Structure 1
Amino acid sequence: MGKKGILLVNLGTPDSPEVSDVRRYLDEFLMDERVIDINAFQRTLLVKGIIVPFRSPKTSKLYKEIWDENGSPLLYFSKIQAAMVQEKLGDEYQVELAMRYQNPSIASGLDRLKAGLVESIQVIPLFPQYASASTGSVIQKVMELVGKWQTVPPISFINSFHDNELMIDTFAENAQKYQPESYDQILFSFHGLPERQLKKCDHTGQHCLKKDDCCSTLTDVNKFCYSAQCHDTARLIAKKLNIPAEKYSVCFQSRLGKEPWVQPYTSDVLKALAEKGKKRLLVFCPAFVADCLETLYEVSVEYHEEFRALGGEEVQLVASLNDDPKFIDALVAMVKN
């Protein structure tokens, strides 16, 4: 029998921090109909006419701040994750890495599995919480590509792993080295999404954003809601660390544009905590399995400086899952189970 194929897919990264490569990356990323979910004509005008031309030089400068001798941190750790999963799984499996945007592409990863004559393909989007703009986009792209093959092998997807016990354990253990009990407040800062995308996931039309705490508990109605899964991840990590509810906050970062995104915004929470006299904050970013621009710069630099300007003292980032062996065990267990 042939090997079993595994495709690990993360979001993506520019090939370099130079403006031209950042422009290509942003163009592919933001032209995705699931990322900016408006009609194609408006999306093209917005992305190609406004966002990419003006944002690329600024974003290039930010990538240069985190780029090191290993290149892109996200790609560097993703490659290590794929290699460690391959080593753990052994010769019965063929593990490939892909990025939803730019390189290595999903098409190239699938082609390598096809050339390896695998008997099946399991796709693991490396996003703990399901969102149409991330996991949904990966699934759609894979189905579009494989759907053109003459022979379509058995194929399966991991929809989310927001409550994976080994992942929760890894985040909790990463936090222990910072002595979380010594901080004034713990923040769980997740990547943001437009509110309209949350509403689209509410097939009843009667739940999403109808009350302030609609995301606080997972139910049959909101079980695929990104925000609800984020709250559940935060609750589980806090429970593992014995952090009481009043000492942690869930918030959302990386807002783009002026329309309402998932709230509360991380910047607003920083301001509110500073006004209450909080000085030291410990921040988790559990929407990411590898450190990247949003963690290494947005949290560690921008939010740290923003909080200090408000009268606070410290914003300390908890390292992401990166190459932690326990997280690799989590991915291996997903494959085998």
Structure 2
Amino acid sequence: MGKKGVLLVNLGTPDSPEVPSVRKYLDQFLMDERVIDIPKFNRTLLVKGIIVPFRSPKTSKLYKEIWNENGSPLLHYSKIQAKLLQEKLGDDYHVELAMRYQSPSIESALANLKAGLVESIKVIPMFPQYASASSGSVMQLVMELVSKWQTVPPISFINSFHDNKQMIEVFAENARKHQPESYDHVLFSFHGLPERQLLKCDHTGSFCLKSSDCCETLSDTNKFCYSAQGHDTARLLAKELGISKENYTVCFQSRLGKEPWVQPYTTDVLKKLAAEGKKRLLVFSPAFVADCLETLYEITVEYHEEFKTLGGEHVQLVESLNDHPKFIEALEEMVKA
């Protein structure tokens, strides 16, 4: 029998931190109909006419701050994750890595699996919490590409792993290095989404955002809700570390535009905690499985500086899953499930 194919897909990264590469990356990313889910004509005007031309130089400077001898940290750790998973699974499996945007492409990774004559493909979008703009986009593109093949092998997808026990344990281990008890408050800061994208995931049309606590408990109604899954991840992490509910806050970073995004915003929470006299904050970013721009710069630099300006003293990032052996074991279990 042939090998079993595994496709790991993360979000993506520019090929270099220079403006042309960043422009190319942002253009592909933001033109995705699931990322900016407005009519194509409006999206094209917004992305190509406003966002990409003005944002590319600024974003390029940020990428230059985190770029190192290994290149992009996200791509560096993703390659290691794929390599370690291949070693863990052995010769009966063929593991490929892809990025939803830029290189290596999903199309090329699928072509490699096809050329390898795999008997099946398991796709793992590397986003713990499901969102249409991340996991959903990966699934859509994979199905579109494979639908053009003359022979379509069995394909399965991991929808989310927001409550994965080993993932929770890795984040908790990383947090213990910083002595969580020495901090005044803990933040679980997730990447933001427009509220309209949450509303679209409510198939009943009568639950999402109808109350201030609709995301705090996972149910059949909101089981695919990004915010609800994020709250569940935070609850499990807090339980693992013995952090009481009053000592942590779930919040959302990386807003774009003026319309309402999922709240509370991380910047607003920083202001509130500073006003309460909190000085030291420990921050998790559990929407990412590898450290990247949002963790290494947005939290470590921007939020730290913002909090100090507000009167705080220190914002400490809890490192991501990166190349932790226990996370590779978690991926192995997902593959074999």
* Deviation of the 1:188 alpha carbon: 0.2
User: Does residue 170 of structure 2 align to residue 170 of structure 1?
Assistant: yes
CA distance in 2, matches of 1:124, 1:228: 20
Q: Which residue of 2 aligns with 1:50?
A: 50
* Deviation of the 1:69 alpha carbon: 0.2
Q: Which residue of 2 aligns with 1:266?
A: 266
Per-residue CA deviation, residues 3-36 of structure 1 (Å, 9 max, x unaligned), is 0000000000000000000000000000000000
* Deviation of the 1:193 alpha carbon: 0.1
* Deviation of the 1:250 alpha carbon: 0.3
Counterpart amino acid of 2:184?
A: D
Q: Which residue of 2 aligns with 1:312?
A: 312
Per-residue CA deviation, residues 285-317 of structure 1 (Å, 9 max, x unaligned), is 000000000000000000000000000000000
Q: TM-score, normalised by structure 2?
A: 1.00
CA distance in 2, matches of 1:105, 1:258: 32
* SS across alignment from 1:109: helix
User: Does residue 27 of structure 2 align to residue 9 of structure 1?
Assistant: no
* SS across alignment from 2:320: coil
* Deviation of the 1:164 alpha carbon: 0.3
Counterpart amino acid of 1:199?
A: L
Q: Which residue of 1 aligns with 2:241?
A: 241
CA distance in 1, matches of 2:332, 2:298: 30
Counterpart amino acid of 1:184?
A: D
Residues 273-312 of structure 1: pairs in structure 2 closer than 5 A: 273-312=273-312
Q: Which residue of 1 aligns with 2:197?
A: 197
Counterpart amino acid of 2:310?
A: L
CA distance in 2, matches of 1:67, 1:178: 24
* SS across alignment from 1:162: coil
* Deviation of the 1:182 alpha carbon: 0.7
* Deviation of the 1:219 alpha carbon: 0.5
Per-residue CA deviation, residues 223-253 of structure 1 (Å, 9 max, x unaligned), is 0000000000000000000000000000000
Q: Which residue of 2 aligns with 1:82?
A: 82
* Deviation of the 1:121 alpha carbon: 0.3
CA distance in 2, matches of 1:175, 1:327: 15
* SS across alignment from 2:5: strand
Identical positions, percent: 80
* SS across alignment from 1:189: strand
Structure 1 segments unaligned to the other structure (5+ residues): none
* Deviation of the 1:48 alpha carbon: 0.2
CA distance in 1, matches of 2:241, 2:215: 22
CA distance in 2, matches of 1:105, 1:86: 19
Q: Which residue of 2 aligns with 1:151?
A: 151
Q: TM-score, normalised by structure 1?
A: 1.00
* SS across alignment from 2:223: coil
Counterpart amino acid of 1:48?
A: K
User: Does residue 228 of structure 2 align to residue 228 of structure 1?
Assistant: yes
CA distance in 1, matches of 2:56, 2:79: 25
User: Does residue 148 of structure 2 align to residue 160 of structure 1?
Assistant: no
Q: Which residue of 2 aligns with 1:182?
A: 182
